[in-house]
Amino acid sequence: MNKPFTAAADLHLHTFWSYDAEATPEQVFQAAQGYGLRGIAITEHHHIDSTASASAVAQRFPGTRYIPSAELTVTTSLGFVDLLCYGFPKIIPSALQAVLDEYHQWQQRRAQAIGHAAPGLRLH
């Protein structure tokens, strides 16, 4: 008899803070609890802006460990690579903040370029 696959954690989740998801942090934690996950990493694209709200929600779900994370795209000799980065500290060091600020500026430039190319496109 085959037993269904179960996981202890999901280490790649997005909320409405990313452009390709619609769930709130609350909904992500509710789903995680429903699946019996003991840990989740919310890995927004290119930023950690959801960390404060996700951390607040996590307090109401003590059975699910929250790992502040991000999915960062970097340019390599092979081209673009998405890196999943886990365990951001509560207080962001200035050198790391400079990197995150550059990602915000990149996103703004990209959104403006997309907006000019596709009028009416809704961006979060």
CATH number for the domain spanning 37: value is 3.20.20.140
User: Per the domain annotation, does 2 fall within a domain?
Assistant: no
46: left (phi over 0), alpha (psi -120 to 50) or beta: left
User: Per the domain annotation, does 122 fall within a domain?
Assistant: no
- pLDDT score of 121: 46
User: Per the domain annotation, does 41 fall within a domain?
Assistant: yes
User: Per the domain annotation, does 106 fall within a domain?
Assistant: no
- Kindly give the parts of the chain with pLDDT less than 70: 1-5, 115-124
- pLDDT score of 117: 52
Residue 65 backbone phi and psi in degrees, to 5: -70, 135
User: Per the domain annotation, does 70 fall within a domain?
Assistant: yes
User: What range defines the domain where residue 59 resides?
Assistant: 9-90
Question: Alpha helix (H) ranges present in the chain?
Answer: 25-35, 51-58, 94-117
Which tens digit of pLDDT belongs to each residue from 2-34?
A: 556 678 999 999 999 988 899 999 999 999 999
Is 16 within 8 Å of 43 (Cβ atoms)? Answer: no
* Class of residue 1 by CB neighbours under 10 A (exposed 0-12, middle 13-18, buried 19+): exposed
- pLDDT score of 110: 80
Burial 19-45 (b: 16+ CB within 10 A, else e): eebebbbeebbbebeeeebeebbbbbb
Q: How many domains, the chain?
A: 1
